A and B are shown apart, each in its own frame.
Chain A
Amino acid sequence: MPGIRAPQLPPDELRAGVRQWCAEHLPHDWRERQTGASHDEFIRFQHWWFGELRAAGYAVPHWPQSWGGGFDLARQAVIFEELARADAPRLSLHFVSLHHAAGTFLDAGTPEQRDRYPPEILDGAVWCQGFSEPEAGSDLASLRTRAERRGDVYVVNGQKIWASGAADAQHCLLLVRTDPSAPKRRGISYLVMDMDSPGVLVRPIRQITGEEHFCEIFLTDVRIPVGNLIGAENDGWRVAQSTLASERGGTMIELAERLAVGLRRLLLEAAGPEGSPPTADTVVGDRLARLAREAQALRLLVRQVITRPGSELAQGAHASVVKLYYSELLQRLTAFGMELAGLDGQRATRRAPGSGWESGAWLLDHIGSWEWTIPGGTSEIQRNIIAERALGLPREPAA
């Protein structure tokens, strides 16, 4: 029976089941219907699709079994692969809830937090992440949002930026400074903030693509109960590392598969009459062959990082290798799509929210690819991490 949650199903049967389920449940015209949709329509559509996936048991394969997941890595890969190949919408509205929030509670949540939040997420609660600040970009540890403890509450003042989906979120994973006198990384705490708390003001930022996905969050005397602390006070930096690590696990499988789907789209666009392949002697053929090998390298690399985290690379550098490679490959692939589209590709167009970064609206996809080389540590930061942690090169001396 397709769509029945069965974490122990043999991978081949699981694959056939997910494929059949997608054929039966995925509206073939969702892209057309979503392109140009209003914000409210997008939110409704995301909740509906999440509900469908949840009912089938495919919404949270990477969660523990007691939380409603329980698929091992090989089977998670199967589910993410099949969803990507079927060109299913991404759960962009739920992304932080399903990965960052869940990963954080799994790693550092109190029993009460673990009992409360994952079921809420399954019921559709949306989370955002209050990490970045205006003057603390890739130097996240220099954040200045201040939380002062007064009895049973922290009183928070400051400003967050680049919070994906904050305008639609009910909760926020918030990093605050609780000890301004401690060294940068030691005085940070990690809180759960309800977005409807008095003193929280959210303002969407219109982005380069015309979309309004990222938000600023202004915090004025926001009172957060001390019970909302995740991990120990002033230990937030460590907890934040596990949050960030959670987005580099199974979800990278999905992104690598979606990139492979984007490559397939390029192949179709580059094909000659009757779908014949270009030859390697043409610029098009040569570039396609290179992109193909890079897309396959990414897929293999992601699996290796997930299944063999202890191989020859130092801990922490794997994730940077994958993020760096994925983001720059995405840039190359979408740039090539834009080249194939030519001047016609420059006409104003829109893409469906919830599309991957390889929607086929190549110009927007290409511009959107900078959403990967800048956030979560820029490519420059990733290269520093790789050089210092994996290769042992000396840090840049302080000025």
Chain B
Amino acid sequence: MTGRQGDCADDERAAVRDLARRLVADVFPSSRARAVAHKGGAPDAGLDRELASAGLLGLELPEEYGGGGGSFVELAVVLEALGEHVGASTLLSSAVLCCGALSLAGTGAQRERWLPLLAAGSVCGTVALGEWFSAPGARDRVVAKRADGAWELTGRVGHVPDARVSRLLLLPARTPDGWLVALAGSSAAGLSVTPQAQTDRTRCLDDIVLDAVGIRDADVLALDTPGAPDATRLLTALANRAAVAVAADSVGNARRVLGMTVGHVRQRRQFDRPIGSFQAVKHQAADMLVNLETSAALVDDAARALALEPSSCDLAASLAKDHACELAARNAGTALQLHGGIGYTWEYDLHLYFKRALLNEFLFGEPRWHRDRVLRGLF
């Protein structure tokens, strides 16, 4: 557990942060977030287009694929900026998960075919990680069977981000030797996607059902064989990316929620003075800031660790995920309290943030899952 020093210059990061904040604020005002919520969470195509044309969807990819040659550290900064606006983009599903998987494990042919399309935003992809994070015996289970010189996938997996708009699906499945990660088109025979509405209506999480979906060997991204757990390594790395991405979203969420709260308590008057001058209010606001700063420090550290070695930063990733997501949810609750009645209305934006923060706490590994991993990492 050692703090890492910058493999990415601070000023570069600040530039990306400024760009992303301005872009998201311009393109995705809260009216757009409300429109997304109204339509049940499908990502905002306009926001994705703008992110793509600013080079942010392919930020982490090498330039040969139309990317920006950055690292996960910069990507995390963009995720945080999106979190500040409850942004409904495919950045998480497509850039973090799908591009991440292809970059880490794809063959030359797979990368050349898909990465430029993903970076340009003309194709969206996702990874069905649900089973990876679920408890043993849970409903999610996909099994891969060898039949006629190919693989056949059967089962179901839930909570797949942006599946309904993804043309490219990466599907983990269990084999007798461990895991396999397969690449499938959304129109593959036997594959169906069912949209699932969330209480947080700004996120799109869907179920996928697989009924003997055929996968050619050329479409296998990674496969565990005895002594070579390539797919497990890949899934570990993707799980870490997903966890830190959600943690970064929560940091952005907490930053914005604190800003809203400070604005409110400075202006709202009761008993002939701004409520922000009461210590009982100030002290809660100060705690919100401490929660935010500690979260940001852990997420920054985890993002750097991921950029260096994505499959061996489990501890840093889980520490960041658990801390940032829990405290963002707590901060949003405190914000609700400090806003009083107005915060409890549908018209005011705070509920969008509160629900997003609550979902983030459970998405890509429930608190127990990450705390178990922390304990294993410490002993």
Contacts and interface: CB of A to CB of B under 8 A. Distances in A.
A387 B374 contact: no
Q: Which of A294, A297, A308, A396 has the most CB of B within 10 A?
A: A297
A294 B378 CA distance: 14
Contact of A386 (B265, B289, B369): B289
Given A380-B279, A393-B262, A301 B293 contact: yes
A280 interface: yes
Contacts of A298: 294
B38 interface: no
B371 A289 contact: yes
A324 B290 contact: yes
Nearest to B287: A383
Interface stretch (B97-105, B220-228, B270-278): B270-278
Interface string B270-310: 00011011110111011101100111011011000000000
A: contact size bracket: 35 or more
Contacts of A301: 293-294, 297
Contact of A296 (B285, B286, B298, B376): B298
Interface in A281-336: 281, 285-286, 288-290, 292-294, 296-301, 303-304, 307-308, 313, 317, 321, 324-325
A391 B292 CA distance: 12
A292 B277 contact: no
Nearest to A286: B371
Contact of B277 (A296, A390, A393): A393
Nearest to B258: A391
A276 interface: yes
Contacts, number: 135
A293 B323 contact: yes
Contact of A271 (B285, B300, B370, B379): B379
Contact of B298 (A281, A297, A321, A383): A297
A297 B294 contact: yes
A44 to B, nearest CB: 36
Interface in A230-264: 260
Q: Is the interface of A mostly helix, strand, loop or mixed?
A: helix
Contacts of B378: 267, 277, 288, 292
Contact of A277 (B5, B294, B319, B376): B376
A286 to B, nearest CB: 6
Contacts of A286: 368, 371
A269 to B, nearest CB: 13
B283 A380 contact: yes
Contact of B293 (A275, A313, A397): A313
Interface string B322-342: 110000000000000000000
Contacts of A142: none
Nearest to B300: A300
Interface string A130-142: 0000000000000
Contacts of A300: 3, 294, 297-298, 300-301
A297 B319 CA distance: 9
A395 interface: yes
A384 B279 contact: yes
A301 to B, nearest CB: 5
A317 B282 CA distance: 14
Nearest to B288: A391
Contacts of B298: 293, 296-297, 300
Interface in B1-40: 1, 3, 5, 10
Contacts of A260: 1
A397 B277 contact: yes
Interface of A: 74, 260, 267, 271, 275-281, 285-286, 288-290, 292-294, 296-301, 303-304, 307-308, 313, 317, 321, 324-325, 380, 382-384, 386-388, 390-397
11 contacts: A286-B371, A289-B374, A292-B375, A294-B323, A299-B3, A301-B294, A308-B10, A384-B286, A390-B286, A393-B285, A396-B279
Shortest 3 CB-CB contacts between residues of A and residues of B: A280-B371, A289-B371, A387-B282
Interface of B: 1, 3, 5, 10, 258, 262, 265-266, 273-274, 276-279, 281-283, 285-287, 289-290, 293-295, 297-298, 300-301, 319, 322-323, 367-372, 374-376, 378-379
